[in-house]
Amino acid sequence: MIADVDVDSQVWLNGEFVRLGDAKVSVLDRGFVFGDGIYEVVPVYRGKPFRMEAHIARLQRSLAEIRIETGRTTDDWKALFLEVLQRSGMEDCIVYLQVTRGVAKRDHRFPADSRPTIFCMASPRKPPSAQAREQGLRAVAMPDLRWLNCHIKSVSLLGNVLAKQHAVDAGVDEVIQFRGDALTEGASCNIWVVRNGELLAPRRNHLILEGIRYGLLEELAQKAGITLRECIVTRNDVDHADELMLSSATTEVLPITRFEGRPVGKGVPGPVYQALRASYDAVLAAL
C-alpha cells in the first residue's frame, strides 16, 4: 500500500483498463531493468488537457530518438490520453504516459522481437501554492552531472532524483544546475533569468529538456513586450540576476527569490515574473 495513491483507480496497461492495485509489469521489462523508455506528463485544467499536442509531439520525438516503434499515430495517443482522462472522472489532474521497449532477455542490445509496454494513468494535480506564487522559492547551485542526451524525456531519471534530493538535503525547493559555467536547468524544470529587463533562456539543445512551457513563455513574453534571448546563460548571469524563475508542467511558472542563501534582486517576485504569471493565468482561464 502506498500513501496518497488510489489503488482502486483505473489505469491503462497494454490495451486494457485495470485496477491500479492489480497492474503488473514483468521484472524483465526493459524499463525496469535498464530504464529503457520514455514518458510524458500532460496537465489537465477543468477537464481540458493543456498543450496536449505539444506533449505528444515531444513524446514522438523522444521515441524516435531511442528507436522505439509503437505504430501509434498522434491521433492514437490523443485518443488514449482523452480516454484515460474520461475514465478518471477528474477535472484537475495530470495524465502520465510511459512507454518502454518491452519485455526481453536481459541484454544491452535492442531485442529483435520485443513489444513496447505502454502504461497510462491519471493522478490528482496539485497546483502551486499561494505562498510559492507570491513569495517565491529557494534554490542552490550544483554541477550538472547527468548524461548528454537530456533532450530525451527518458524514464532514466536517477540524475534528476539525485538533484532533487540535493535540494531536499540543503533545505531548499530546487537546484540550479551548471555544466561548467553554463546554466542548464533545475532538477525537473527549466530555469529563466532576468537581467536588465531581458529574459534569458538556455539554448535548446541536447543539454536540457525543452519543457513545453519553454515555447509558451516565448509566446507570453512576446505578447508582453518582454525581450527573450536564447543564449549561453552564465553563472555570473544567475548570481547577478534581477529575477529568477522556473517552469514545468506541474509547477507552471514560479519565481525563485533566494539563491545560495541570498536574495534574488529585491528578494520578492519581480515585474517580469508578475507579467508572465498574469498572462499564464489568462491562458489557463481561457481554456
Residue 27 burial class via C-beta count within 10 angstroms: exposed 0-12, middle 13-18, buried 19 and up: exposed
Question: What is the Cα–Cα distance from 30 to 102, expressed in whole angstroms?
Answer: 6
How many CA atoms, within 13 angstroms, populate the side-chain half-sphere of residue 166?
Answer: 21
Catalytic residue positions? 153
**Residue 39 three-state SS:** strand
Question: What is the Cα–Cα distance from 182 to 164, expressed in whole angstroms?
Answer: 19
Go through the chain and tell me how many residues it has: 287
Q: Which long-range contacts (CB under 8 A, 24 or more apart) does 160-164 make?
A: 160/187, 160/188, 163/187, 164/188
**Residue 216 three-state SS:** helix
